[in-house]
Every structure is written in structure tokens, then in C-alpha cells.
Structure 1
Amino acid sequence: MGTQHYTEKDILDKSRELIHAFMNKQLLPFKNLLDENFVWVGDYSSQYIQGRENFLKTVELEAALPPLELNQEEYAMLTHERQTWVTYGRFTVTAQGMGDTPLSSKVHFTFVWKQNKEALYLLHANACHVIDEQVQETAPEPAAEESTPQARVFDRTNIEILSGGRMEKIRIKDLNSNVHFLFPGEILYMKSDNKITTIYTDHDSFMARITLNEMEHPHFVRIHNSYLVNIRYITKIRRYKATLADGTQLPIGQTRYKSIQKQISGKE
């Protein structure tokens, strides 16, 4: 029997599977993805853990916590040599804070995978919370004697799903081979230029070799041959332009104007 051949997609999907298992507090499948010599490195100097069992001892209480949600997911392959793969990426998680105010946190991560016989295992993980440059406040490092949930990579974060309710995320591979998983509500609009489409979100933009026809969705409206827009972000239309919530103005095709006006008439 030949050795199992894993593709780049397999490895990126495995990275996402592991993150989602932890976020959903499914610790058994999470545990089964860790190599016995797994090493974890986190935000603080105390968050350096060698060995799968030592790491798992720190997350025993995680199973009792409510699941978390992710958005703005991005996964990429850094390198691959023989039976070792390095992936990296970023995402945002939120959790309910005091009262009704949700707390959100951006996380950047790096994973090192290795193949052992036919199976894949995570050998090393590093994750850090990101503080925007404008934000000057810093979190104090926990005292050494404190019982720190060191493996709680994704704490401080029930995402308000912008689309309303649960739904499948859209998988988009960009021109740099990074794979994005986005709720429809995270996409503001898309602009097509020949066979290349630029996807604009509320925090970023990226290009993908994909057509607007492939991106059709009940949340999006085709306002022009070159533009597909999330209808919830259109605040007003004037002949022949659409204004979005962030002030962006986009052209409306003359033949589409009346139908679009009907679709958003309840918004004005």
C-alpha cells in the first residue's frame, strides 16, 4: 500500500478543522489531531507547553465553556517539505462579555503539521492575539502562580453573524492561494475585471480568479455587469449610483436601475 498523499487543500482544511473543533469545545477530535510531542506557544512567557498531555491538562475546563464563533477566516500554506507542512492565517472570534457587550479578538496563527504513516498530526502551534496599532492598552501578563488557561487561544471573543442567523460560509481562494471563509454578511461588494474579481469586506480586500456569476447569492444584488453588492449595505440610490454604508459609491446599470430601486425601496 502506498503512502497517503495529502494535497494543499487537505492540509488547509485540516487546519480549519482543528481550529473549529477547539472553538466548538469538541476536545476529543481536537486531541486526536495533536502529535504526542506537540508544542504550544502563546501570548505570554508562561504559555510555552511541551507535550500533548501537558497541553491538554490546561484545557480540561474548556469543554464546559460555550462554543465560540469565527469570522474573517483566512488560511494559507507557507511551505511544504517531504511530510511536513507549515500553514498560517488569521481570524476573529467573539464572546459575550459583561452585560450585552460582545468582546472580540483577532488571532494570528501558525501550524506545523507532520505525516505519521497515513495520518496527519499537529506538531507545533503558535497563536497570538492582535492589538490594533491605534489601541494603546495592553493586557498584563498573568502571574506565574495563577491558574492560566494557557491553551485558551481563542478567548475574549458569540459572533454577531452579519447575515443574520446561521448559514454556510463562502470559500474563496485568492490569487496568492490564501483561502478565505466568509459569511455573506462580511462581504460589502465585489468588482469584476475580466476574469478577476476583487472582494471587498469591512476590513480588507483581495482578488480571486472567480466570476460574479459564481458568487451569486440571495444576499447579493447585481447592480452592474461589473458589480455584485450586498443589498444590506446599500443606504440609498440616485440615478445611476448606489451609496453604501461606508460612503462608497458604485455605478448602477441603466437597465437594472428600476428593479434595484424596487428591491431596496423599503430601505430608503
Structure 2
Amino acid sequence: MISFCNDARELTRQVIEEFFYGNPEKVLQNFHPDVTWIGAANGQCIRGAEKVSQYISHMELPRCEVFQKEYQVVAHSDDMYVVAGWMEIGASQGESGKLSVVQRITFIWKKEEDRLKLLHFHVSNPVEFQENSEYFLRPAGKGTFEYVKKLYSQKRRLIACGKHDQTYVLWNKDIVYIEAENTNSVIHCLNRDILSRESISILEKKLGEDFIKTHRSFIVNSRYITGIRRYQLAVRQGIELPIPEKKYREIKEKVLRAVSQRQNEVCT
């Protein structure tokens, strides 16, 4: 009996983790013919191995991590084992945190011919009461909201006004550097150059923290800096841009700090 209790708990762990790692086969191969699945979303109450298998096989889920979990056998008989617990699943965001949600689970395993088959499984989100200062009812919603606010504050895109009333929407990661040209600007991208009728000062206000103004005529994307020496900054494709003598030390510190921060993000 103890052995089957341990098997039920371990099978629960394996099935959950394989499912969220993008491998539903571990779930499907353990179904009892009369399995019933109750999920957290609307319409996820299905009975029968064929119908449940069909539904799960067509689910499009991103790969998730199981950060924390706790499962235990809460009841059992000679041929039935009930495993209940909770798990925290989500997508890791490195040092900036993670988007996650806590889900409660109940798995019922039925022993047939000395093998456990999944007869019922239920996944649900715990209900949380809304606080006065909150817009979302659940921590996942709050976490997602805060993460989206962070992305927005980082200004991941640049909307630039070009000549002849053209408007360009550019991802910051595609911009190498921006160069002043009289009262206009040239946006040097990875695969093209764009002439903007906005001044470099106006564009600077629209850019995120990855950009460094190294000269009154140049703003550089720190991700494409390849080197720095006295009064010269090297960027991709062997381009060198000037640094004012009086601001060299200040610019150098900004460059080294930006490069170091980017390396840390890559490592995490």
C-alpha cells in the first residue's frame, strides 16, 4: 500500500512537469478509459480518454517551469489513491522576476492489474479577494500587469516621423545608432538607414535606457558597442564615432556600466 501511495505521488509530479515542459504524452499514456478532466478555464470539463486526449493534444501552451510544488496522498483505498496539492508555474524572467500563477491540483489514480491509471484530474486557480488598491483578482494578473508596465517603461519601440509624412515603427534592438543631420536625424538600423525629420533631441526622449548619447550628434545602442578607446567609440561593422574630450570619462563609465549590465542579463 505504501509503495502505491509513493507511486501515485511520483506519477503526479511526472505528469504535471512533463505536461508543462511541452510533452503531453506522459499524461496521455496514463489515462484510464473513463478519465475525467476538469481544468481551470471555461469548458474544460471533459470525460473519456479519447476526448480528453484529443483536447489536450491540440492545446497550444508555451513551455513553462514548475517553480514550487507540494503533493501528498490525502486518501486511499485498496485500489484508489487521491493526490492533492499545489504548484507554482510560469515563465522565468531572470533577475527581474517571473510571471507565475499558483494552481491547485487533485489527481485520482485507480489501480488496475498492479498499475496506476489516471481516473480524474482537476486543476484550478485559487480565488483571491480583491483589495482596495488592486485592479486584478489574482496574483498572476497583477504580476502580468506589472511586467507589461515595465516593458512599456523601457520603450522597446521607437516611433519616428520620416520625410513626406511617413511614420516608422522600429524595434529598439534593430537600431544601431542615431546621427544628427542639421535639424533632422539619420537612424542607422541593422539593415537600412532612415531619414527622420525629427531632431536628435526629440528622438532621445523616445528611446529606452539601452541608448547612450555619446556626442551631441550621436546616440548609440549599447548592445552594438564593440569597444572604446580615448575619444573614440567602436560599434558594429567597424564604425567609429567620436567622443568629446571633456566627456570621455563620463561616457566611458556609462558604456562600461551598460555592457556589464547586459552581460549579467545574458548570464541569468
Give the TM-score normalised by structure 2: 0.44
**Greater relative contact order (Cα < 8 A, sep 6+):** 1
Larger Rg: 2
